[in-house]
Structure 1
Amino acid sequence: MSTLIFRTIAPLLTAVMLVFSVFVLLRGHNEPGGGFIGGLVAASSMAMYGMAMGPAAARRALRVHPLAIAGCGVTMAALAGMLSLFFRVPFLTGLWSEFYIGDTKVALSTPMVFDIGVYLVVFGTIAAIALALEDGESD
C-alpha cells in the first residue's frame, strides 16, 4: 500500500499524530489519556510512516533505535518511583516541585515523569515491533 496520495500525506499526518500524542500525554493527568495512550498514538504514526516510506526511512526519521527509546522510558519511570524513597515516603508516592520562569509558575511532578517514561516505553516497543514486521514483508 504505497500509493502516491498515501506517500504524500503520510509525513504531514505523522507530524500531526505526534503532536496529538504529546497532547494526550500531557492531558492525561486531569482527563482521559496519559502515557500509554499517547505512546500508542505516536507508535501508530511511525508505523504509518514506515508503511508509506519504508521501514528504512522510518528508522532514519527516528534517529535512535526504538528499543533504546523504550530503555530510556523504563529508566525514567523507575527513577520517578525511586525518587520518593529519598524523601522517606513509599515507593511511587507523588512528589511535586514548583518554580517560576518569569511570571509563570511551572509545576513538575514525579507522576508526570512516570507518565513520560510509560509513553517512551510504549512508543519504543510498539515502534520496534511495527518496523520489524514491516521489514519482514519486503517483496
Structure 2
Amino acid sequence: MKSLILQTASRYLIVLLVIFSVFILLRGHNEPGGGFVGGLLIAGAFALYGLAYEPKAARRLLRLDPRTIIGVGLVTAAGSGLAAVWHGQPFLTGQWLPYPIPFLCKLGTVFFFDLGVYLVVLGTALLVLLTLEEE
C-alpha cells in the first residue's frame, strides 16, 4: 500500500511505539504490563512500518530474522529460571541483586524473564504478521 500520509506517520509512530514498549517492559515486573504487552507494542510498530512501505522494508529495519528473536527470547526466559536452581531454590523463583541500579530499579531474574517473553512475543507476532503481509 503506497500512502504518503501513512508512510510519513509511520516514521514518527514507530519511534514512539518502540519507546513506549520499552517503558512498558521496564515497569512490568513491578506493575501491570511487562514483556507480553511490550512485545505486542513493538511488533505492532514493525507491522505498521511493513504496511506503510512493504514487509521487506520492515525486515530490513528489524535486521534479525524473527525466528532468531524467538530463540533468543526462549533462552533468556529459561535462563532466568535456572538462576534460582543454581541457588538451590525452585525453578523460576525470583532472585534479586542486593542493591538497586541507579535511575532504574532493583534488578532481578524477573526482569530477564520479562525480557525473554518480550522477545518471544515480538518474534512470534512479527513472523505471523510479516508472513501475512507478504502474501
Class of the TM-score when normalised by the shorter of the 2 chains = over 0.9
Counterpart CA distance in 1 for 2:20 and 2:48 is 15
Deviation at 1:107, TM superposition (A): 2.9
**Equivalences, count:** 134
Give structure 2 stretches of 5+ with no counterpart. Answer: none
Deviation at 1:99, TM superposition (A): 4.9
Counterpart CA distance in 1 for 2:83 and 2:31 is 25
Bigger fraction of residues in strand: 1
- Report Cα offsets for 1:54-112 as digits up to 9, x if no partner: 001000000010110111000000000011111000010000114577xx386320011
Q: Which residue of 1 aligns with 2:31?
A: 31
Q: TM-score, normalised by structure 2?
A: 0.93
Q: Which residue of 2 aligns with 1:135?
A: 134
Counterpart CA distance in 2 for 1:10 and 1:114 is 30
Counterpart CA distance in 2 for 1:30 and 1:89 is 21
Deviation at 1:11, TM superposition (A): 1.4
Q: Which residue of 2 aligns with 1:117?
A: 116
* Higher deviation after alignment, 23-32 or 120-129: 23-32
8 Å CA contact 2:82, 2:92 repeated in 1: yes
What is the percentage of aligned positions where both structures have the same residue? 49
CA RMSD of aligned residues (A): 1.5
Deviation at 1:131, TM superposition (A): 0.6
5 Å-filtered alignment, 1:88-127, equals 88-99=88-99, 104=102, 107-127=106-126
* Higher deviation after alignment, 23-32 or 65-74: 23-32
Give structure 1 stretches of 5+ with no counterpart. Answer: none
Runs of 4+ in 1 over 2 A off after TM superposition: 98-101, 104-107
Counterpart of 2:107 in 1: which secondary structure?
strand
